[in-house]
Amino acid sequence: MTNVYMQRKAEIISIIPQTDIDYTFRLKSDILPQHGQFLQVSIPKIGEAPISISDYTDEYIELTIRKVGTVTDTIHELKPGDFLFIRGPYGHGFPVENFKNKNVVIAAGGTGLAPVKSIINRYNRNPKEIKNLNILVGFKSPKDILFEDEIKKWEKSFDVLLTVDNGDETWTGNTGLITKFVPELKIENPNDTIVIVVGPPMMMKFTCLEFLKRGIPEENIWVSFERKMSCGIGKCGHCKINETYVCLEGPVFNYTKSKQLLD
């Protein structure tokens, strides 16, 4: 009988610090996930946690992990050459096939940028797949900014708006929540525009509302949920919202579905 909880070894190729508490771990792997899917990542004797895949090629996957608990604290102590244990990928990702030849807007808050980074890089490699891409990214403060080098790269190809909630004396960029910038966004044809919103729950809720005000149809908005999970395969119940299991039907949901997920 196949053991669905069995994990496999994945070697850490490199570790790229993003902030003091967010590191990107590049693991040797041939997993080709959908954008937005997640893995159950574990260290035997310490624990297991669901982590979204922030990027991948056919030789490696990247996980951007914030140091926030027992498992992630221990992961942050690992070095290249050490192993992580993984199972997955699980859940549904973003249906990128449906986004072809559309205007795409990606609004990401904080670590919410991780699950959409691979989509942005996909469009960076294949810019003709969509009409254009607008990126809105927000972080709490300048020291919390993730993927700074990549954001600079994206700025060369796409309209990128980077903002922080609170700047410091050296900060010369935008300040304010992402919601502040949605009304200023250039959206020529709302019906032909796909919006992806990922971030903390409050950010997602109010950002979606701002896009609805801009005339984006509900079915054109996609979100990704974060929930506690112990199994990732529809058994443990932690991620359940009404009859919906985020690990099975999500973590990516269309807004028309997500607005019904009362919690």
Residues forming contacts to other proteins in the complex (CB under 8 A) are 1-5, 42-49, 66, 68-69, 72, 111, 200-201, 226-228, 230-231, 233-238, 240, 242-243, 245, 247-248, 260, 262-263
Give min distance, CB of 244 to other proteins, in A. 8
Indicate the residue among 188 and 262 with the shorter CB distance to other proteins: 262
How far apart, in whole angstroms, are the C-alpha atoms of residue 69 and residue 193? 38
Indicate the residue among 32 and 68 with the shorter CB distance to other proteins: 68
- For residues 56 and 26, is the Cβ–Cβ distance under 8 A? no
3-state secondary structure of 165: coil
Q: What pairs with residue 11 in β-bridges?
A: 83
Indicate the residue among 94 and 245 with the shorter CB distance to other proteins: 245
Q: Please provide the distance, in angstroms rounded to a whole number, between the alpha carbons at the two ends of the chain.
A: 36
Indicate the residue among 112 and 142 with the shorter CB distance to other proteins: 112
How far apart, in whole angstroms, are the C-alpha atoms of residue 184 and residue 198? 19
Indicate the residue among 161 and 198 with the shorter CB distance to other proteins: 198
Q: What pairs with residue 194 in β-bridges?
A: 104
Which DSSP letter does residue 162 get?
E
Tally of CB atoms within 10 A around 54? 25
Give min distance, CB of 131 to other proteins, in A. 34
What sign does the CA torsion over 181, 204, 76, 149 have? negative
How far apart, in whole angstroms, are the C-alpha atoms of residue 15 and residue 217? 40
- For residues 158 and 132, is the Cβ–Cβ distance under 8 A? yes
Strand order in 174-175's β-sheet? 174-175, 159-164, 132-139, 103-109, 193-198, 221-224, 252-254
Cis bond before residue 95 (omega within 30° of 0): no
Indicate the residue among 127 and 201 with the shorter CB distance to other proteins: 201
Indicate the residue among 130 and 246 with the shorter CB distance to other proteins: 246
